[in-house]
Amino acid sequence: MAGKIFYRERRKVGEGEKKPRYKLVAVAGIDMKIYGKHLRKGELEQIAEAVGADLVLLKSGDKKKGEDVSVDD
């Protein structure tokens, strides 16, 4: 079974900035330690290829600042 690496785009990094744009969120099915919190897309792709994992981009929520989140049972 191939592992999965979950990541999302950082919110405070804009286009053209020379900062890593992605935040590593979770790793499943792989015994691996990752020391960087913010990574570039190319770095994530190299790690995934080396360990045989799939990259999964998490979708951002549509919640706006100050909105309440309700959960239906």
Is the per-residue pLDDT at 1 higher than 60? Answer: no
**Mean pLDDT, rounded, for 5-26:** 78
Q: Could you give the CA distance from residue 29 to residue 72 in angstroms, rounded to a whole number? A: 31
Report the DSSP beta bridge partners of residue 57.
7
CB contact at 8 A, 7 and 24: yes
- For 17-68, what is each residue's pLDDT tens digit? 667 778 888 888 888 888 888 888 899 999 999 999 999 999 876 656 555 5
- What pLDDT is stored for residue 37 in this prediction? 81
Is the per-residue pLDDT at 2 higher than 70? Answer: yes
Q: Could you give the CA distance from residue 9 to residue 15 in angstroms, rounded to a whole number? A: 11
Q: Could you give the CA distance from residue 47 to residue 35 in angstroms, rounded to a whole number? A: 12
- pTM for the model stands at 0.68
Token couple for 13: 């990094």
Beta strand 54-57 with 4-9 is parallel
